[in-house]
Amino acid sequence: MTGTPQRKYRSDYQASIYLIDRVSLDFDIRDGSTRVTARHSVRRNPQLIGTGGRWWLDGRDLRLVSIAVDDEPVADGALEVSETGLWLNGLPDRFTLTVVTEIDPDRNLSLEGLYRSDDMLCTQCEATGFSRITYFPDRPDVMSRYTTRVEADAERYPVLLSNGNCIESGAAGEGRHYAVYEDPFAKPCYLFALVAGDLGVIRDTFTTTSGREVALALYTEHGNEDQCHHAMASLKDAMAWDEATYGLEYDLDSFVIVAVGSFNMGAMENKSLNIFNTACIFAHQDTATDSDFARVRDVVAHEYFHNYTGNRVTCRDWFQLSLKEGLTVYREHQFAIDHGSPGVTRIEQVRMIRDVQFPEDAGPRAHPVRPESYVEMNNFYTITVYEKGAELIRMMAQMAGREAFTKAVKHYLDKHDGQAVTIEDFVLAIEESTGLDLAQFRHWYAFAGTPRLRVSSRFADGRLSLELAQATPATPGQENKPNFDIPVSVALFDDAGQVVRAPEIVRLIEQRETFVFDGLAAEPTVSVLRGLTAPVRLEFDQPDDALVRLMAHDSDPVSRWDAAQSLYMATLKAAVTAHQNDEPMPALGEGMMTAVAALLADPPDDRALLAEMLTVPSATQIGEAFDAIDVAAVEAARRYVKREIAARFEAELERLADAHAPSGGYVFDQVAAGRRRVFATALDYLACLDTPAIRKRAQAVYDAADNMTDRMAALNALQDLPGEEREATRADFAERFADQPLVMDKWLRLQAATEDGDTAARVRDLLADDRFDFTNPNRVRALVGGFVRGNPLGFHRADRAGYALVADEILRLDAINPQLAAALAGLLAPWRRYAEPYAGGMREALARVGEADLSDNTREIVDAGLG
């Protein structure tokens, strides 16, 4: 906790005055304290000869035992130590620096640096966790070769791991043992990792195209090994995919993953020693749903892909985070598309952008993909840097063509191998290789906010004129926006659904441009921004019949889904307005009914696509369509529309459920998962009718389920149906999975999302329950996050008890895990988007948080929200 937090600016970048070629670390792990002896070979940065002679080393929560230059203790006058690091004065051009520090991983609940997760010790160094291990220039442009020695009690910590190859190991006396690792690749300190524990392991091998045999190992607490096979298979898949797609072969003889229970994020790409949240590794049909399986597959691939995009070529400074994250998410998206239904995978990506990124870009925390300043870097691991960053890469790939773009990425990786570079270096490399002109495109990196793309069409004399216009709203600190370079895909169809103009990409460069399509026999149906070719909000008023045609015939499944979404949305918006005006709910839109009927009569072969198309827009999507979100009206509208669809199509939905009913023999593949999704969707609709039959059916599905996906489908269907069936299935669930924390997270979420009675009180009780552990981020996200996101009426209730609860938890958490506390504060920050009384209540809770003495992390979010 400090007074005024320091803000860092991208424009202030200066290269490090000293560079560290070799780092040698020695960890002496003892009960109550770990002693870290660091020896570095340091030389002056040849580019900066002649500048000042002070050197800053970052360091936090460290006990400095000794510090020496060329083995001579640094004199008091040459050393200035503060809370955040130290200055060294009067240094020679070349020297050996020795720093001895003591740290206490058992008491480190921030989950940064070296910390305890259950019975093991592990590290998390991105973004600046290394400075909690030793005094060091904790910045990614200082790249060094590491040798790491770890010594610990042999019985408690039989497994000792660090980056690179194990070059030596053995007994160290007094029941202790040691291991020495050498990483042949220079890396920034944020990629350093260490693990010590008593762990189970599964092993495999992968042979690269050039014949290198890579030993693969996946470690976890004993007893969980059988939940790790899907992750291991995914790793091998990712390795093969990166060879086949980008020609990138793994570059070391071993690749190790460790799954840990306490982790602030999903996973971390430390060189050759990835550390994962168990939630992104464990996948067994009994305990994980199909979406859990998919997430594990994609996160494993994501971290593996970082080996090139992030590790071999890394970021010069943290403002460049999207250099590695945008590109790696893009690669992960490509991988996912190659491993599932391409259409539905893209739909999920589009939904993420619209439901989460667009709101961030319209709220108090809006920031460019390459931010200009930050207080706490950990607050910038955002959906904007990751997912919008990936969309920017995707736009370039679309403009260049996939093959040319792949070649350009390889050019970038060759050109900058072993370097710490900037987004500008990346864009330049892409221009060099593809010949694209990306001058105006660069604005996407520099300016926040979601451009609005207004489309209007005119047809006369066989000629279609399509007018595109762009405008981007102001965001905090950026009043005026330039024109973006917006790739927009366009295709034209006739009334029978035949293509009359194949999809092409036009680029909107000016504020307003008209594109003309000549020689048309009749007015075509226009399909634009197909598959979201750019992260913009489309404003295009299309008549229902055009949308119905697109929904039935568009050659792009994402466009079909999008057309369905627009049809639902029209009715949902009318229902929101009716609720607000105390009017009777409107009859369901004609177009929407025709569309649903057609969908049920002639469903697409891709079952997951059918499920997606049958699903009405999320509450977030509906809220997004209004200037001020009226939570109760949105909920009422969504429930009304779902119930009406269920009532009107009950027989069809029954048949759909029957035709996709669980049949045993679980496998996780596209077809089987698609069928399960259709079943869950049908069950969810039927549950809206709340008949005794559907309750019984849900309970029977639960009882007979041979997998977690079906079990969750049943529990979700019963979610809003209080009664015997719901109580019985939940009680069974809690008992059956009592010893599986990740499954109990699902149970916590269910409890938090259940809205009858006093939810806030129930959540408070659970916070005090033995099954809840405040120090574990997965538990906190399940219960508190599950309450805010999964229970809008409970969270936004009129007496403000929901807001108060969240404010209390932010304050309690901020003292131990600021990163997570700041993430929770982000849930209250966008209060301005809400209608009254919600806005006032959220603001009041946020202001109360703001009165406390806060970490820099939470302070930055709260100030942005109140500012």
H-state helical runs in 380-515: 383, 389-400, 402-415, 423-434, 443-446
Q: Tell whether residue 123 is a contact of ligand 0A1 (CB under 6 A).
A: no
Tokens describing residue 786: 């599950």
Q: Which is nearer to ligand 0A1, 124 or 559 (CB)?
A: 124
In the residue annotation, 644 being an active-site residue is answered as: no
CA–CA dist 838, 795 (Å, integer):
10
Q: Which is nearer to ligand 0A1, 152 or 821 (CB)?
A: 821
Q: Tell whether residue 268 is a contact of ligand 0A1 (CB under 6 A).
A: yes
Cβ 300 to Zn ion, closest distance in Å?
A: 12
Active-site pick, 151, 303, 325, 635: 303
Q: Tell whether residue 269 is a contact of ligand 0A1 (CB under 6 A).
A: yes
Tokens describing residue 683: 């069950």
Q: Tell whether residue 262 is a contact of ligand 0A1 (CB under 6 A).
A: no
DSSP 476: T
Q: Tell whether residue 856 is a contact of ligand 0A1 (CB under 6 A).
A: no
With contacts defined by CB under 6 A, name the span among 258-266, 414-422, 531-539, 778-786 that binds ligand 0A1. 258-266
- Residues 6 or more apart in contact with residue 738 via CB below 8 angstroms: 744, 771
Q: Which amino acid is at 692?
A: P
Site map 346..385 versus ligand 0A1, x via CB under 6 A: --------------------------------x--x----
With contacts defined by CB under 6 A, name the span among 59-67, 265-273, 515-523, 664-672 that binds ligand 0A1. 265-273
The interface partner of residue 342, options being ligand 0A1, Zn ion, none and the CB cut-off 5 to 8 Å by kind, is: none
The interface partner of residue 381, options being Zn ion, ligand 0A1, none and the CB cut-off 5 to 8 Å by kind, is: ligand 0A1
User: CB–CB of 695/720 below 8 Å?
Assistant: no
Q: Which amino acid is at 414?
A: D
With contacts defined by CB under 6 A, name the span among 194-202, 261-269, 677-685, 807-815 that binds ligand 0A1. 261-269
What values do phi and psi take at 23, rounded to 5? -120, 130
C-alpha 9 chain-centroid distance: 25
The contact set with Zn ion (CB under 5 A) reads 325, 328
Number of residues that bind ligand 0A1 (CB under 6 A): 15
How many Cβ atoms sit within 10 Å of the Cβ of residue 276?
24
User: Of 288-307, which residues contact ligand 0A1 (CB under 6 A)?
Assistant: 302-303
Residue closest to ligand 0A1 when measured from CB atoms: 265
Q: Tell whether residue 144 is a contact of ligand 0A1 (CB under 6 A).
A: no
The interface partner of residue 332, options being Zn ion, ligand 0A1, none and the CB cut-off 5 to 8 Å by kind, is: none
Q: Which is nearer to ligand 0A1, 257 or 344 (CB)?
A: 257
Q: Which is nearer to Zn ion, 220 or 328 (CB)?
A: 328
Helix or strand (DSSP H, E) at 161: strand 159-162
Could you tell me which of 21, 22, 81, 25 has the C-alpha nearest to residue 56? 81
Q: Which residue has the tokens 């009780």?
A: 765
Using DSSP bridges, classify how beta strands 143-153 and 18-30 pair: parallel, antiparallel or unpaired.
parallel
CA–CA dist 104, 552 (Å, integer):
62
Among 98, 110, 124, 559, indicate the residue that binds ligand 0A1 (CB under 6 A). 124
Cβ 435 to ligand 0A1, closest distance in Å?
A: 31
Q: Tell whether residue 325 is a contact of ligand 0A1 (CB under 6 A).
A: yes
Q: Tell whether residue 265 is a contact of ligand 0A1 (CB under 6 A).
A: yes
The interface partner of residue 809, options being ligand 0A1, Zn ion, none and the CB cut-off 5 to 8 Å by kind, is: none
Long-range contacts of 610-616 (CB under 8 A, 24+ apart): 610/674, 610/678, 611/674, 611/677, 611/678, 611/680, 611/681, 612/344, 612/347, 612/561, 613/551, 613/560, 613/561, 613/564, 614/678, 614/681, 614/682, 614/685, 615/681, 616/568, 616/572, 616/641, 616/642, 616/645
Cβ 385 to Zn ion, closest distance in Å?
A: 10
Among 193, 267, 421, 653, indicate the residue that binds ligand 0A1 (CB under 6 A). 267
Bridge partners (DSSP) of residue 27 are 36, 150
Cβ 325 to Zn ion, closest distance in Å?
A: 5
- Residues 6 or more apart in contact with residue 562 via CB below 8 angstroms: 350, 550
Among 224, 264, 422, 457, indicate the residue that binds ligand 0A1 (CB under 6 A). 264
Cβ 363 to ligand 0A1, closest distance in Å?
A: 21
CA–CA dist 867, 863 (Å, integer):
6
Q: Which is nearer to ligand 0A1, 352 or 428 (CB)?
A: 352
Q: How long, in residues, is the chain?
A: 867
Q: Which is nearer to Zn ion, 144 or 314 (CB)?
A: 314
Q: Which is nearer to Zn ion, 85 or 326 (CB)?
A: 326
User: Of 805-834, which residues contact ligand 0A1 (CB under 6 A)?
Assistant: 819
Q: Which is nearer to ligand 0A1, 279 or 656 (CB)?
A: 279
Cβ 842 to ligand 0A1, closest distance in Å?
A: 26
Cβ 328 to Zn ion, closest distance in Å?
A: 5
CA–CA dist 357, 375 (Å, integer):
21
CA–CA dist 664, 834 (Å, integer):
45
How many Cβ atoms sit within 10 Å of the Cβ of residue 415?
16
* C-alpha distances in Å from residue 661, one per residue of 608, 631, 684, 689: 15, 34, 13, 19
Cβ 275 to Zn ion, closest distance in Å?
A: 13
Cβ 813 to ligand 0A1, closest distance in Å?
A: 15
DSSP 136: B
Q: Tell whether residue 126 is a contact of ligand 0A1 (CB under 6 A).
A: yes
- Active-site residue numbers? 303
Instruction: List residues near ligand 0A1 by CB under 6 A.
Output: 112, 124, 126, 264-269, 302-303, 325, 378, 381, 819
